[in-house]
Amino acid sequence: MDDQSTDPIADARRALGRALRELRKQAGLTQKELGSRANANDTYISQVETGLRDIRWSTVTRLLIALDLTVADLAAAIRRQEQTPRR
Protein backbone atom coordinates (compact mmCIF):
# COMPACT_ATOMS: atom_id res chain seq x y z
CA MET A 1 0.00 0.00 0.00
CA ASP A 2 1.22 3.50 -0.71
CA ASP A 3 1.40 6.41 1.74
CA GLN A 4 -2.10 7.59 0.81
CA SER A 5 -3.62 4.16 1.43
CA THR A 6 -7.00 3.30 2.85
CA ASP A 7 -5.32 1.30 5.64
CA PRO A 8 -7.27 2.29 8.79
CA ILE A 9 -4.26 1.66 11.06
CA ALA A 10 -1.99 3.91 8.98
CA ASP A 11 -4.75 6.53 8.77
CA ALA A 12 -5.15 6.49 12.56
CA ARG A 13 -1.38 6.72 13.07
CA ARG A 14 -1.20 9.76 10.78
CA ALA A 15 -4.20 11.44 12.49
CA LEU A 16 -2.60 10.87 15.90
CA GLY A 17 0.69 12.31 14.67
CA ARG A 18 -0.97 15.39 13.17
CA ALA A 19 -2.94 15.88 16.41
CA LEU A 20 0.22 15.70 18.50
CA ARG A 21 1.91 18.20 16.19
CA GLU A 22 -1.10 20.56 16.49
CA LEU A 23 -1.01 20.37 20.30
CA ARG A 24 2.76 20.84 20.44
CA LYS A 25 2.57 23.93 18.22
CA GLN A 26 -0.32 25.34 20.29
CA ALA A 27 1.94 24.99 23.32
CA GLY A 28 4.64 26.94 21.47
CA LEU A 29 7.19 24.14 21.73
CA THR A 30 9.69 22.78 19.24
CA GLN A 31 10.08 19.04 18.84
CA LYS A 32 13.39 19.29 20.71
CA GLU A 33 11.77 21.18 23.63
CA LEU A 34 8.91 18.69 23.85
CA GLY A 35 11.35 15.81 23.65
CA SER A 36 13.37 17.24 26.50
CA ARG A 37 10.27 17.66 28.66
CA ALA A 38 8.92 14.20 27.84
CA ASN A 39 12.24 12.32 27.82
CA ALA A 40 11.85 11.45 24.12
CA ASN A 41 14.15 12.00 21.16
CA ASP A 42 13.15 14.87 18.86
CA THR A 43 13.75 12.67 15.79
CA TYR A 44 11.32 10.12 17.20
CA ILE A 45 8.74 12.87 17.83
CA SER A 46 9.16 14.02 14.23
CA GLN A 47 8.59 10.48 12.96
CA VAL A 48 5.50 10.08 15.14
CA GLU A 49 4.10 13.43 13.99
CA THR A 50 4.51 12.45 10.34
CA GLY A 51 2.93 9.02 10.88
CA LEU A 52 6.14 7.10 10.18
CA ARG A 53 6.41 5.52 13.64
CA ASP A 54 4.03 3.87 16.03
CA ILE A 55 3.94 5.27 19.55
CA ARG A 56 3.58 3.46 22.86
CA TRP A 57 0.84 4.52 25.25
CA SER A 58 3.44 5.35 27.88
CA THR A 59 5.05 7.81 25.45
CA VAL A 60 1.68 9.38 24.61
CA THR A 61 1.15 9.82 28.34
CA ARG A 62 4.57 11.46 28.82
CA LEU A 63 3.90 13.84 25.91
CA LEU A 64 0.49 14.80 27.34
CA ILE A 65 2.02 15.43 30.76
CA ALA A 66 4.76 17.56 29.15
CA LEU A 67 2.08 19.53 27.28
CA ASP A 68 -0.12 19.78 30.41
CA LEU A 69 -3.01 18.23 28.48
CA THR A 70 -5.49 15.40 28.94
CA VAL A 71 -6.51 12.41 26.89
CA ALA A 72 -9.73 14.31 26.14
CA ASP A 73 -7.65 17.15 24.66
CA LEU A 74 -5.82 14.65 22.47
CA ALA A 75 -9.08 12.98 21.40
CA ALA A 76 -10.52 16.34 20.38
CA ALA A 77 -7.39 17.13 18.36
CA ILE A 78 -7.58 13.74 16.64
CA ARG A 79 -11.23 14.37 15.73
CA ARG A 80 -10.24 17.73 14.22
CA GLN A 81 -7.51 16.06 12.19
CA GLU A 82 -9.83 13.31 10.95
CA GLN A 83 -12.28 15.98 9.75
CA THR A 84 -9.60 17.98 7.94
CA PRO A 85 -9.38 17.01 4.24
CA ARG A 86 -5.96 15.74 3.17
CA ARG A 87 -4.40 15.89 -0.26
pLDDT digits (tens, 9 = 90+) for 51-60: 999 999 999 9
Predicted confidence at residue 84, as pLDDT, reads: 81
Domain containing residue 56: CATH number: 1.10.260.40
Q: Kindly state whether residue 3 falls inside one of the protein's structural domains.
A: no
Q: Kindly state whether residue 71 falls inside one of the protein's structural domains.
A: yes
Residues 20 and 83 sit within 8 Å (Cβ to Cβ): no
The pTM score is 0.88
**7-39 tens-digit pLDDT:** 999 999 999 999 999 999 999 999 999 999 999
Q: Kindly state whether residue 40 falls inside one of the protein's structural domains.
A: yes
Range of the domain at 43: 8-83
Domain count, the chain: 1
Q: Is residue 1 predicted with pLDDT exceeding 50? A: no
Angle made by CA atoms 50, 16, 28, in degrees to the nearest 5: 75
Q: Is residue 2 predicted with pLDDT exceeding 50? A: no
Q: Kindly state whether residue 1 falls inside one of the protein's structural domains.
A: no
**What is the rounded distance in angstroms from the CA atom of residue 62 to the CA atom of residue 73?**
14
DSSP states of 3-70 as a string?
A: TT---HHHHHHHHHHHHHHHHHHHTT--HHHHHHHHT--HHHHHHHHTTSS---HHHHHHHHHHHT--
